């Protein structure tokens, strides 16, 4: 039997479509809607690593320390200038009457020298070139060519005792070679100090922001209670004096909140001096204030011992003493060399035109100078030796100071962790007392004054927790500074390994 077919009109079609849409998931009738607005993502919290990256990128003091490298290269070039070759063109002409041939009368003769002079760091000085006769002829006995009208010029001075290997020019060259590592040390020291100051200021800023949040929350609680007390006073449940007490507490907390706001603005401005962009300090936005890290770790004894060994040789202060000691050793060697007699051998062509024309070619000499009292030399040796002894003692002091700095930072970490535990427990107890006092106030068993006192105690306890957490983070930063972790080219060059310890 065939089913009966019922013809459908447009009204029936519309009704069926509505029914299907109402019972079918994902199908429905809807008016054209506006495109949904994309929600802005929450700002990424600012971190100490990002702050340090700002310093590496644009801080003017660190850039200024970088000029030490330029100055070191300049000093090196200046020292090398004492050994660079020099081209000399010298013309000498004389009028004379020859004693061997006076009948020739007055003669005019000379030469033109073109030569290159240079000095070796070992103390040797030499020259080489060509001499051309002017208004010859000349009698040239040595190294002549071009039919006796030209001569090869070779000359030199050779120190045999004083000035051999050790001389002022070579000493300055050795000092200039140490200028570059000393510049690196000074940059590392500047970087260390900036990173420590930035980390300390960063956590002061975070703590100030948390203080303000606590104070604003306390103001809100006081305002709600003031309204509650006013209502109860109108109903005759409390005395009108309690309304005055509640209003006075509101104003007091507002004043504290305003002071906290000023303190936060101050810390924010201080922090901006570590965040530079286009040669202008940038204030960090308050939306990027991070939370205190929940994990508190303390380096183990093995890690601390390894860090001490590394810091005793790697801290910029210790490395700078080593560089200064090397420079003083150069001065000491130079002073000891100055105590030697001066014995110089010299070979050079004749520089007098008359003698050259008459036939004198090269001259040779040996000069000996012996100081008698040696006051200057002995004084320089004593001064350099005294500095060397002082540097030895200073280095021992710096190494021990590094160990003390590490121990001090470790103590600060441990005590801050203990403070946090005690402050958190104190806050828990203060909150319990606060809730109990509020409950009693609701029953009419206490006054507004005692509730305010309990709340003030809770606010102070919460502030102590914030201070302890900030001090812990600053102690961690102090530990990294004490081991020289920030004295490298990159913040992650010397990783600091922490392990949990009860």
The tens digit of pLDDT for each residue in 98-145 reads: 777 788 788 888 889 999 999 999 999 999 999 998 887 788 888 888
**Looking at residue 111, what is its pLDDT?**
87
Q: Rounded mean pLDDT of the chain?
A: 86
**Looking at residue 251, what is its pLDDT?**
96
Radius of gyration in angstroms for the set of CA atoms belonging to the chain, rounded to a whole number: 44
**Residue 347 φ/ψ, nearest 5 degrees:** -140, 125
Angstrom distance (rounded) from CA 451 to CA 445: 11
469 Rama sector, left if φ>0, alpha if ψ -120 to 50, beta otherwise: alpha
pLDDT surpasses 90 at 430: yes
Q: Which position has the higher pLDDT, 417 or 143? A: 417
* Contact between residue 153 and residue 131 where contact means Cβ atoms under 8 Å apart: yes
* Burial class of residue 100, CB neighbours in 10 A (0-12, 13-18, 19+): exposed
Q: Which residue has the tokens 């919460």?
A: 462
Residue 476: both structure tokens together? 């961690």
Using alpha carbons, list the distances in angstroms from residue 246 to 223, 433, 439: 8, 19, 17
Q: Which residue has the tokens 């209003």?
A: 247
**Looking at residue 334, what is its pLDDT?**
94
Pairing label, strands 280-281, 342-349 = unpaired
**Looking at residue 147, what is its pLDDT?**
85
Please give the helix or strand (H or E) that residue 385 lies within, else none.
helix 375-443
**Looking at residue 477, what is its pLDDT?**
96
Q: Which position has the higher pLDDT, 155 or 13? A: 155
**Chain segment 446-458, per-residue pLDDT in tens:** 888 899 999 999 9
Q: What is the DSSP letter of 82?
A: G
Of the candidate ranges 46-55, 259-268, 365-374, the one whose mean pLDDT is the lowest: 365-374
pLDDT surpasses 90 at 41: no
Q: What is the pTM of this model?
A: 0.80
Angstrom distance (rounded) from CA 376 to CA 482: 43
Angstrom distance (rounded) from CA 451 to CA 438: 6
**Chain segment 190-228, per-residue pLDDT in tens:** 999 999 999 999 999 999 999 999 999 999 999 998 998
**Chain segment 335-354, per-residue pLDDT in tens:** 999 999 999 999 988 877 77
**Looking at residue 33, what is its pLDDT?**
43
> Which of the four pLDDT bands, split at 50, 70 and 90, describes residue 489?
low
Residue among 291, 274, 263 at smallest CA distance from 206: 291
Is the omega angle on the peptide bond into residue 137 within 30 degrees of 0, that is, cis? Answer: yes
Q: What is the DSSP letter of 36?
A: P
**Looking at residue 13, what is its pLDDT?**
40
SS3 244: helix
* Contact between residue 342 and residue 162 where contact means Cβ atoms under 8 Å apart: yes
> Which of the four pLDDT bands, split at 50, 70 and 90, describes residue 362?
confident
pLDDT surpasses 90 at 316: yes
**Looking at residue 39, what is its pLDDT?**
59
Taken as a whole, the chain contains a residue count of 502
Mean pLDDT of 309-337: 94
Mean pLDDT of 41-67: 91
**Looking at residue 5, what is its pLDDT?**
40
* Contact between residue 499 and residue 300 where contact means Cβ atoms under 8 Å apart: yes
């Amino acid at each position: 039997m065939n089913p009966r077919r019922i013809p459908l009109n447009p009204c029936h079609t519309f009704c069926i479509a509505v029914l299907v849409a109402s019972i079918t998931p994902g199908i429905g009738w809807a008016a054209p809607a506006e495109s949904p607005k994309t929600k802005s993502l929450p700002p990424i919290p600012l971190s100490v690593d990002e702050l340090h990256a700002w310093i590496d990128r644009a801080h003017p003091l660190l850039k200024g320390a970088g000029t030490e490298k330029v100055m070191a290269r300049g000093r090196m070039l200046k020292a090398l200038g004492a050994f660079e070759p020099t081209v000399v063109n010298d013309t000498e002409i004389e009028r004379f009457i020859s004693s061997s041939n006076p009948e020739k009368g007055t003669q005019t003769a000379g030469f033109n020298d073109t030569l290159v002079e240079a000095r070796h760091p070992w103390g040797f000085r030499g020259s080489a070139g060509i001499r051309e006769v002017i208004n010859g002829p000349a009698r040239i006995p040595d190294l002549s060519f071009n039919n006796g009208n030209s001569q090869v010029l070779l000359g030199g001075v050779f120190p045999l005792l004083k000035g051999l290997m050790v001389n002022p020019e070579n000493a300055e060259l050795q000092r200039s070679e140490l200028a570059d590592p000393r510049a690196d040390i000074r940059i590392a020291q500047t970087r260390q100090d900036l990173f420590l100051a930035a980390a300390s200021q960063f956590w002061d800023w975070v703590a100030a922001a948390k203080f303000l949040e606590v104070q604003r929350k306390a103001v809100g609680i006081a305002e709600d209670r003031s309204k509650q007390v006013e209502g109860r006073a109108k109903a005759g449940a409390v005395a009108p004096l309690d309304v005055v007490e509640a209003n006075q507490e509101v104003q007091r907390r507002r004043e504290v909140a305003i002071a906290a706001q000023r303190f936060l603005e101050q810390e924010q401005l201080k922090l901006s001096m570590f965040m530079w962009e286009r040669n202008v300090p940038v204030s960090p936005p308050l939306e990027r204030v991070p939370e205190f890290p929940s994990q508190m770790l303390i380096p183990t004894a093995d890690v601390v011992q390894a860090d001490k060994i590394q810091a005793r040789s790697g801290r910029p202060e210790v490395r700078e003493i080593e560089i200064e000691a090397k420079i003083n050793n150069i001065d000491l060697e130079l002073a000891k060399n100055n105590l030697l007699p001066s014995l110089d051998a010299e070979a050079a062509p004749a520089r007098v035109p008359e003698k050259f024309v008459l036939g004198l070619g090269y001259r040779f000499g040996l000069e000996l100078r012996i100081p008698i009292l040696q006051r200057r030399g002995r004084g320089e040796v004593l001064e350099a030796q005294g500095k060397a002894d002082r540097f030895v003692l200073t280095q021992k002091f710096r190494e021990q100071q590094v160990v003390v700095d590490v121990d001090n930072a470790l103590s600060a970490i441990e005590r801050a962790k203990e403070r946090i535990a005690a402050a958190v427990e104190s806050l828990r107890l203060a909150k319990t007392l606060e809730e109990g006092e509020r409950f009693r106030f609701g029953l009419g068993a206490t006054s507004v004054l005692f509730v305010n006192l309990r709340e003030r105690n809770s606010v102070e306890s919460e502030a102590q927790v914030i201070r302890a957490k900030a001090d812990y983070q600053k102690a961690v930063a102090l530990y990294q500074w004490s081991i020289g972790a920030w004295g490298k080219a990159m913040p992650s060059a010397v990783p600091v390994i922490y392990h949990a310890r009860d």
